[in-house]
Each structure stands twice: as structure tokens, then as C-alpha cells.
Amino acid sequence: MSFTFIDLFAGIGGFHSALKNFGGRAVFVSEIDDAAKKIYRSNWIKNDELIISGDIKPLTEGPEVQVPTHNVLTGGFPCQPFSKSGNQRGVNEARGTLFFNILKVIEDKKPELVLLENVRNLVGPKHLSDYKKMIRLLRQLGYVVSAEPTIISPHEIPEELGGSPQHRERVFIGAIKMENIDSGMYSNLGPLLKRKPFPDINEWSLKEFLERKIADHEKIDLNNNLSQSQLQALEAWNDFLKIYRKNNRQNLPGFPLWSEFWQARNKFTIARSTPIWKKTFIENNNTFYLNNRKWIDNWRKSYSFESLIPSYKKFEWQARGESDIFNCLIQFRPSGIRVKNPNYVPAFVALTQTPILGWKKRPLSIAEAKLLQGFPDTFSFGDQNEKASFKQIGNAVHAGVARLVFQALLKRAIKIDQPWATSLDSSSFFLDNVPLADETSLF
């Protein structure tokens, strides 16, 4: 049995990719960005008459909600804090936010399942009260939803269940419509998935993952190499690492190395207004320099180090026992060059900080980025420019994570005997492999 879904704030279709695998059919899509709409259509609805709508607001704030009936509602909605004014006003309490528009659709169309995604900060100190209001308003509409958020990153999930080597924590809200049952009886449910639900997951190897997953036909821009100044900086710091290892038994220190303070202590002053954390870094750097002064001075001269731009003169080592920078993952940041273990990439959200694959001496490609976001290798950006593609993939819902969390939501719906879920043909799912957080304690 197939099911229908709507895709709100759809981006380029992370949720669509996840639900299509289980027989889901999109009956409504809303995305305000024209470039993202084009990519979405070319990949997911090529031969369909389905129109991708723009702004969801005018479709939900009039006398009628202009959205078709559907079984599942999904949305990677932008985080907008609620107004401080008003309280206990039902759905209208969220008016002025995009969550209000989601609630209007839910109130009118009553989908069987709701799955929403947002940034980790949604449940941080700044927005926690807003998150709690969201949960309360969903419950008022008759939905079972945990007060505890499901927080998960793709690197915490085995590859066979949709994981990938990217550290990208996101919050998921999963809600289940209940009929003729007080949804409040399930108010003590925990999150869909507990934190780090697969404790035995193996350490990722980013290099192995990409070499195995990238198909031969994928286009990699071999001209998108590092600049001469970037290579010069990396070669200098790589030599620095090797010389340091010859002169010291321990790894490089964990604090950022700021070479501007590698000089005699009487050559610079620390202003009284300097924050304590920065003062500590400066003092640590100066001590580090004084303990290694002889070889550092010779190293700087041999590499014309002073000719590098200021940010290239700062170095942050997070690769523990690695012996060569070019075996690692690298980022050129305004705060300096960061080098980390080649196990997983940080969440990529901006082209200026796209991770550098040290063993390739080039930035991560679009083809590689889409795989790290859980999209299939058949997904294409066409001839769209790289900057726009990176922006879209960085904003996308991770398709593999969405696939796992949706299965957890469906499994919970089955466990609490929701009629629609129990009647769904789940043969295409892998529910036995989904470790529902409170499966044994509450059911």
C-alpha cells in the first residue's frame, strides 16, 4: 500500500528522497526559492503534472487551506521564534511564524504522521521555550509527540541504515494523529531515537567512503584545485608538524597556534581589555614558542612564512596522531587553517569553508557533497553553478537520516496501534533494524 505526502519548505528534496523509497507519492510541494524548485522538479517530478508552489503563507492564511489531503506531512522549516505576546491561544499562538502555517495545514487536513526537521539550536537555551510551545500546540491538535527531541547526526548511523561520514546534528519532531484516543495518555514518550542509538558503529573512513561511493561517471572538477598560496601554507605547516614530532614526544597542543605571538615576551603587550580566553591562548602560544624557539625560527625563514596572508599563519591541529597534513581533512577558515582526522566532515553550509580533501589536494566536490547528504548518485544539479549547488546541498535535509527517523516514527505509530500505520504495507521498510528509544519500556 502506497501513501501520499506533502513536502513543505522542500529545498531540493531530502524528505522526498527518503519517502519515495517506501512508496510515498508527493501530492504537494512548497518551496520559495526558484533555483531550488528547478532542481527539485528535474530530479523528483520530471513526468508529473504536480506544481511546485512558492510561499506557503497565502495558501494557508486565507479562508481555506489550499493544500490537498495527504497521509504524511514533512518539512524542514526555518526556525522562527514565537512572539512573546499571547498565550494559550491554540494554533493562533504561533501566528506570524512559519510554524503557524504548518499548524494550519495539520489542523485542516489532519495527516496521519508529521515529521519536521530543524537545526540543533531549536532546543538550545535561546529557543527551548518556543520548542515546548510547538509540542504543546501539536498535542492540542490531537497528536502524540514526545517532549524530548530526537537529535541525531548522520555519522551516528550505520551506512546500511542511511548514515554517512558527516557531523551534522539536527532536531526531528515526529507526531502521530490519534483517533478516539486521548493523545495525552502517551505524554511520557521519550524521543523517537535515543542519543547515539547505534553505540557499536565503526569509525568512519571518509577517504574509503568517497572512493567506494563515487561512480566512475560522476563529474569531478579537477581544475578546482588549491591556490599556490594555499599549497604553500599547507606545505609549510606540514613540515612544521614533522619537525615538531622530531623534537617532541607528545602531539601538537590542542589550542590554536597563533604565530603572531611567537616572539620574545617583551616584544608585545596584552591589553587589559583582552578577554581571559584570548589572553590564555596568547600566553600558551608564547610559552610554546619559547620552548621550541630554535627550530621554529629556522622553519619560518626556510618557508618565507611571513609572506603568507594572516589567516594562513594560524593553525589548529585536531588530527591527533596523524603524521601528514595531506592525509587529513582541512579547512581554510577566517580564524586559521584547521586540520582534523579524515573520519567525517563537519556540516558544510558555506562554499568559503568547503572541506579540503588533503589526499586529493582539492575541495570537496558537489558529487561528493550530495553523497555525504544521503542523496543518491543519480541526483543531479545539471549545469547549475557550483556556489548555488553547495548552498542548496548545505541547506538540505539529510535524506538518509530522514529515512531512518521516518521509519522510527512509523514504528512508534504501529506500536501504539494507530489504525493507518498498522494497515500500511511495511514490507519495504526495515523496522526491525530501527532501535526505537522506548520500545521495551513502554510497549
List active site positions. Answer: 79
Distance CA 230, CA 208 (A): 25
Query: What does DSSP assign to residue 245?
Result: H
User: Is residue 369 a contact partner of residue 395, using CB atoms and an 8 Å limit?
Assistant: no
Cβ atoms < 10 Å from Cβ of 362: 17
Distance CA 305, CA 135 (A): 55
C-alpha cell of 425? 504495507
Residue type, 9: F
SS3 for 259-273, per residue?
Answer: HHHCCCHHHCCCCCC
Secondary-structure percent of the chain, ordered helix, strand, coil, rounded to 5: 40, 15, 45
Q: Are strands 336-340 and 345-346 parallel, antiparallel or unpaired?
A: unpaired
DSSP H/E element including 351: none
List helix spans (H) across 217-348: 228-247, 276-291, 293-302
C-alpha cell of 193? 531515537
How far, in Å, are 34, 134, 189, 439 from residue 193 at the CA level? 34, 19, 11, 10
Which residues are registered as beta bridge partners of 333? 336
